[in-house]
């Protein structure tokens, strides 16, 4: 562990009721697994967020930020250092009206992606419907370049504001970011300047004027299709593996390898969608990781294809 008693006292004095220690991360992930975060902070505002990250920088203690934990697999021994949850302090949507197109809508990183989708439909703004049904926050969606067969975040993002390790804010346009399939990479200049990965504070999205009734109708169809194809009732992190660049999808390969229903401990390959690993109730992170490796091995042996996890694995 990385925090001695003095550091813990110091953090408690600085952040009071916003900080807890040894917080089970299973409470903060969709998988419902994960050991404790050594320190777990829920800042109440941006100023407090800046204080936390400059404290971490000064003390050399690592931190990670999380949104809703819908794409995270946290290992059983937890996370040394600090975990920062952003859903409380970054929760506003702002837009400057519909006078000209594209309409720019700015959502803070802790806003739920579904709240933003619903906001866009109500306001008669098209462009967000591709993300209907994707759990998590706007910050997580930008980091993951979240998407579906209808589109992805990089199609509509205009710019982000990020916080760097000094606590300062920086605007970055989409042209300065490198998006790929389910991934945003910051360029080296920026991470050097930030002394680490920047924290997304908000994202501005380019949307177009449309008819709320038509958007709602489209939303109904998209959500119905998701309900039919995904085991949303069981804890998971959505699609576990990225699809290979060409050919069959990860789900098809796993299915063809005969792995639907395969189980290790409480982790199971969903019979409804083979790219979902589900927690049947009492899975540990190790069960899920063991099942991940089994899938990778079987798919590689059969098709000579290495499946790469889409889920972000953190912790020790």
Ligand X SMILES: Cc1cc2nc3c(=O)[nH]c(=O)nc-3n(C[C@H](O)[C@H](O)[C@H](O)COP(=O)(O)OP(=O)(O)OC[C@H]3O[C@@H](n4cnc5c(N)ncnc54)[C@H](O)[C@@H]3O)c2cc1C
Q: Using CB under 6 A, list all residues that contact ligand X.
A: 30, 64-72, 86, 109, 134-137, 139-141, 143-144, 146-148, 182, 199-200, 230, 232, 236-238, 312
Nearer of residues 106 and 124 to ligand X, judged by Cβ: 106
The catalytically annotated residue of 117, 182, 194, 268 is: 182
CB of 120 to ligand X, least distance (A): 16
CB of 283 to ligand X, least distance (A): 14
The catalytically annotated residue of 18, 123, 239, 268 is: 239
Nearer of residues 72 and 283 to ligand X, judged by Cβ: 72
Nearer of residues 72 and 194 to ligand X, judged by Cβ: 72
Round to whole Å and give the CA distance between 133 and 136: 9
Per the annotation, the verdict on 239 as an active-site residue is yes
Record the tokens describing residue 20, joined without a space: 């807890």
Round to whole Å and give the CA distance between 302 and 306: 10
CB of 223 to ligand X, least distance (A): 11
Per the annotation, the verdict on 18 as an active-site residue is no
The catalytically annotated residue of 38, 123, 268, 310 is: 310
Nearer of residues 109 and 288 to ligand X, judged by Cβ: 109
Nearest one of 192, 160, 161, 163 to 179, comparing CA atoms: 160
Round to whole Å and give the CA distance between 233 and 223: 14
CB of 115 to ligand X, least distance (A): 12
CB of 83 to ligand X, least distance (A): 9
CB 197 within 8 A of CB 191: yes
Record the tokens describing residue 271, joined without a space: 């019979």
Nearer of residues 124 and 204 to ligand X, judged by Cβ: 204
Nearest one of 143, 148, 142, 79 to 116, comparing CA atoms: 142
Nearer of residues 2 and 312 to ligand X, judged by Cβ: 312
Round to whole Å and give the CA distance between 292 and 303: 16
**For strand 93-95 and strand 103-108, is the pairing parallel, antiparallel, or unpaired?**
antiparallel
Nearest one of 127, 103, 131 to 115, comparing CA atoms: 131
Round to whole Å and give the CA distance between 205 and 207: 6
Per the annotation, the verdict on 193 as an active-site residue is no
CB of 287 to ligand X, least distance (A): 17
Active site residues: 182, 239, 310
């Amino acid at each position: 562990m990385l925090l001695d008693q003095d550091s813990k006292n110091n953090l408690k004095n600085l952040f009071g009721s916003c900080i807890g220690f040894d917080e089970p991360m299973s409470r903060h992930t969709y998988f419902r697994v994960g050991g404790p975060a050594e320190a777990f902070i829920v800042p109440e505002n941006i100023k407090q967020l800046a204080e936390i990250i400059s404290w971490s920088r000064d003390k050399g203690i690592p931190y990670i930020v999380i949104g809703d934990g819908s794409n995270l697999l946290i290992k059983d021994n937890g996370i040394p250092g600090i975990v920062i949850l952003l859903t409380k302090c970054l929760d506003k949507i702002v837009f400057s009206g519909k006078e000209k197109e594209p309409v720019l809508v700015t959502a803070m990183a802790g806003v739920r992606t579904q709240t933003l989708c619903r906001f866009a439909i109500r306001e008669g703004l098209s462009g967000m419907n591709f993300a209907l049904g994707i759990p998590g926050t706007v910050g997580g969606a930008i980091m993951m370049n979240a998407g579906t067969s209808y589109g992805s975040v990089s199609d509509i993002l205009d710019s982000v504001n990020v916080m760097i390790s000094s606590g300062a804010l920086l605007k970055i346009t989409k042209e300065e970011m490198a998006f790929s399939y389910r991934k945003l990479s910051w360029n080296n200049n920026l991470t050097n300047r930030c002394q680490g990965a920047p924290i997304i504070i908000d994202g501005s999205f380019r949307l177009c004027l449309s008819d709320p009734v038509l958007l709602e109708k489209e939303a109904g169809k998209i959500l119905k299709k998701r309900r039919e194809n995904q085991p949303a009732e069981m804890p998971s992190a959505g699609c576990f593996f990225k699809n290979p660049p060409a050919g069959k999808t990860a789900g098809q390969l796993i299915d063809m390898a005969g792995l639907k229903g395969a189980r290790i401990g409480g982790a199971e390959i969903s019979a409804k969608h083979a790219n979902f690993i589900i927690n049947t109730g009492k899975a540990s992170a190790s069960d899920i990781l063991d099942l991940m490796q089994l899938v990778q091995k079987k798919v590689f042996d059969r098709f000579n294809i290495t499946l790469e996890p889409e889920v972000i694995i953190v912790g020790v």
